[in-house]
Structures are given as structure tokens and as C-alpha cells.
Amino acid sequence: MKIKLFLPSISIAALLLCSGFLITTDKTALNYNYITVKDTIINFEKGDTGKMPRGFTQTATGKLQRLDWEVKSDNGTIVVAQLAKNEGDYFNLLVLDKPECQNLILSVRIKSVEGDEDQGGGLVWRYIDNNNYYIARCNPLENNFRLYRVVNGNRKQLKSIDCAIKKGVWFTMSVEMKGNNISCSLNSIKMIETTDDTFKSPGQIGMWTKADAVTYFDDLNIQSL
């Protein structure tokens, strides 16, 4: 049985002005007791368009540029979008405040919308802070699917494989990690398998893009193992 969590409109918002950019964060809790108890899908159908989704925090890896994650309508479907057009080795992150998971199956639907420097995006897990976590990401501009770890803000590639995902087309990315074993799939096809012992403890879950990649996400599916 799958439990669907619909994210309602934001009731608490903290607006901070930093280095000339407006940063919006929301610390209002979701009903986290239901997350990972069973196969749980979080979508954004009850969210207020133009605002941050409830229960998530936006942050970044790299010298602060712009943070702009918000709920948006995509042809009538409510999604969460990364809209900032940043540059360089700057990683846009939207992290679920709770829970922390160690062994899990994680999936999300993704659509690459724009990006000259970078496109697409992916999933983050065993997230310790904005400088330490795992990433799986698909980039239609480069036609590849890659697994990385980020340690102290430095990204290291673990695996890479060619893929044929196109800009403007929804696809599903999934990740399974148990112990030090990692497998990553696109549209239910397993494409990456490896092991890594960098992050052994439970961590948070999130979504990721790089630089100017404008990307939509929906149906974040979390299952604790």
C-alpha cells in the first residue's frame, strides 16, 4: 500500500536577504510519522504555486548564488521546480527536513526544461550537510547518467554510463542503497551498480541540479529498507 502525502500551502516562511538574493525557507513539519513507514509518495498537488514546498529546505553547494525552488504548474500537474539560472560548479539542493534514512529505495520523476551550461538533475541521499552526500544525476545535454559522492564540497565521480534521456520528457530515476551497495536506474532499467563506504550513517534525502539547469520534479517516492 502506498501512502501519498500532499504538501499544503506554506504557513510559516522566513525571508532572508543575503548577498542581494532572496532566500525562502520553510520549517513547517510534514507528518513525518508516515514517511518510510510504508512505500510513501510525496507530491505537491496541494502546494501554493510560486512558493517553497512545505517540509523542505533549499540550500546549495558552492559559493552562494541564487536559491529558487518553488511549486509550479506543468500543464495542470503541480510539481516542484528548480528555476535559478546559476553558473559553474554550483549545486542547487532541495532537502526533505525529515526523516534520515540509511538503507532505502528512492525514486522521483524528473523533466529537464532548460539549461545551456547544464541540464537535468537527480537525487541526493545519505545527506549529512550541503557539502557531504551522494548524488545520482542524469544530464540530457551530455547524454549521461552518473553517480557521485560529494565530500567537503568536492564532487568525485563513482560511475558513469551513456543514456538517451531527452530534454522536455519526463523520466523516472531510482536509487537503492543497502549497506555500501548502490544501484541506480532510469525508467526501471538498472544502469549503475557499485559499492562505496564514504557515508555509512543515515542521512537526509533531496533533489539536485547544477548551475543553470531548470528542472521539474514530482512524485518523490521513499521506502526505508
Q: How far apart are CA 45 and CA 68, in angstroms?
A: 19
Q: What are phi and psi of 33, to 5 degrees?
A: -60, -25
Q: What is the pLDDT at residue 15?
A: 23
Q: What is the pLDDT at residue 99?
A: 86
Residue 7 has pLDDT above 60, yes or no: no
- Mean pLDDT in residue range 190-215: 98
Q: What is the pLDDT at residue 21?
A: 28
CATH number of 2-224: 2.60.120.560
Q: What is the pLDDT at residue 38?
A: 61
Q: How far apart are CA 56 and CA 190, in angstroms?
A: 28
Q: What is the pLDDT of residues 42-59, one digit of tens each?
A: 888 888 899 999 899 999
Please report, for the chain, the start and end positions of each structural domain, with discontinuous segments joined by +: 2-224
Q: Are 52 and 22 in contact (CB under 8 A)?
A: no
Q: What is the pLDDT of residues 133-182, one digit of tens each?
A: 999 999 999 999 999 999 999 999 999 999 999 999 999 999 999 999 99
Burial 31-67 (b: 16+ CB within 10 A, else e): eeeebbeeebbbbbeebbeebbbbbbbbbbbbeebbb
Residue 131 has pLDDT above 90, yes or no: yes
